[in-house]
Amino acid sequence: MTQLTQTATPPTQAAPVKAARPSRTKALRPLFISVVAIVGGLVLWQLVAMTTSPLFLPSVSMTWAAALELISDGTLQQSILASSGRILAGWGAGVVIGVPLGIFMGRFETVRQLLDPYIEFFRFIPPIAFVTLAVIWLGPGELSKIALIFYTTVFIVTLNTIAGVQAVNPLRLRAAASLGAGQLQILTTVILPSTVPFMVTGARIAMGNSFLTVVSAEIVSAREGLGALIWTARNFSRTEWVFVGIIALGLLGYLFDRVLRVATKKLLARYL
């Protein structure tokens, strides 16, 4: 009996090791594909750049050298910090105002009828159309840029929140009311949890639009920021600086979106 027990033990211990390898390989596969795609894109970029003028398309090495140049004198860091601060301030204010506004418009028909004409009118006017007015009304400082980002954020968040409120199953509302829940309880226990995915989607879409707006605002009236860096590069015919600014915007947007996704999954996991 002792020999049978000893011979049966090794296969039982080895089984989890064999099962773990495929799962680890499967988890690393998306990362490997992403790395291959990025490397392939850089190689293609370098090959195309070798066939044309640096003014038209700077090479990867030239762009990297320009990035090091801008980092060494602190220009790139200052530009990233300036744009990030404006985006976070304007986007955050838009989310804070847009979520409750969307909830009340979606829940109460009278409020929606009062505000809907303004929402439908202004949401079709791009923020760039208000750049001049923002500078005149609020000055050329930070407030005008933050206000433009707020403008582009609040309508997107509001509309997505309204859609989330109106998508709540009426049976759930009737069930909560039949159990004695008041309007405030229905709002906090039924409507809000059901609307969270729509709020998060609206916030993510608004984040992307905030990057579009901040570049436009900084090009018109800013000395610091990634938009101002791109405009300065254009004035000095430094196309490689333009590429550095564009790449910085893309990486910064990717980082912000990843942080937002991770934060919402951890804080609002039960609702998503």
Can you give the pLDDT at residue 213?
Answer: 92
pTM higher than 0.85, yes or no?
A: no
Comparing 40-54, 169-183, 196-210, 250-264, the range with the smallest average pLDDT is 169-183
Q: How confident is the model at residue 2 (pLDDT cuts 50, 70, 90)?
A: very low
What CA–CA distance (Å, rounded) separates 125 from 152? Answer: 9
Can you give the pLDDT at residue 63?
Answer: 95
Can you give the pLDDT at residue 137?
Answer: 93
Nearest to 187 by CA among 102, 121, 74, 250: 102
Take residue 235 and report the two structure tokens written for it.
Answer: 């004035």
Q: What is the pLDDT of residues 76-95, one digit of tens each?
A: 999 999 999 999 999 999 99
Cβ distance 246 to 234 under 8 Å?
no
What CA–CA distance (Å, rounded) separates 162 from 151? Answer: 17
Mention every residue, 6+ apart, whose C-beta is less than 8 A from residue 213: 90, 127, 128, 148, 149, 151, 152
Question: Cα 251 to chain center, whole Å?
Answer: 11
CATH match for 60-271 among 1.10.3720.10, 3.30.930.10, 3.10.129.10, 1.10.10.10: 1.10.3720.10
Q: What is the pLDDT of residues 98-126, one digit of tens each?
A: 999 999 999 889 999 999 999 999 999 99
Q: Is the pLDDT of residue 249 over 90?
A: yes
Take residue 28 and report the two structure tokens written for it.
Answer: 């690393």
What CA–CA distance (Å, rounded) separates 236 from 109? Answer: 55
Q: What is the pLDDT of residues 120-161, one digit of tens each?
A: 999 999 998 998 899 899 988 899 999 999 999 999 999 999
Share of the chain above pLDDT 70, in %: 91
CB count in 10 Å sphere of residue 114: 11
Sign for the pseudo-dihedral over CA of 214, 218, 219, 225? negative
Can you give the pLDDT at residue 169?
Answer: 85
CB count in 10 Å sphere of residue 219: 19
Residue with the larger pLDDT of the pair 188 and 120: 120
Domain boundaries, the chain: 11-51, 60-271
- Average pLDDT value for the chain: 87
> What is the rounded radius of gyration, in angstroms, for the C-alpha atoms of the chain?
26
Q: Is the pLDDT of residue 173 over 60?
A: yes
Share of the chain above pLDDT 90, in %: 62
Tell me the DSSP string of 10-79: HHHHHHHHHHHHHHHHHHHHHHHHHHHHHHHHHHHHHHHHTTS-TTTS--HHHHHHHHHHHHHTTHHHHH
Give me the helix-helix angle, 239-267 and 192-221, nearest 10°: 160
Q: What is the pLDDT of residues 6-26, one digit of tens each?
A: 444 455 554 454 444 556 777
Can you give the pLDDT at residue 190?
Answer: 86
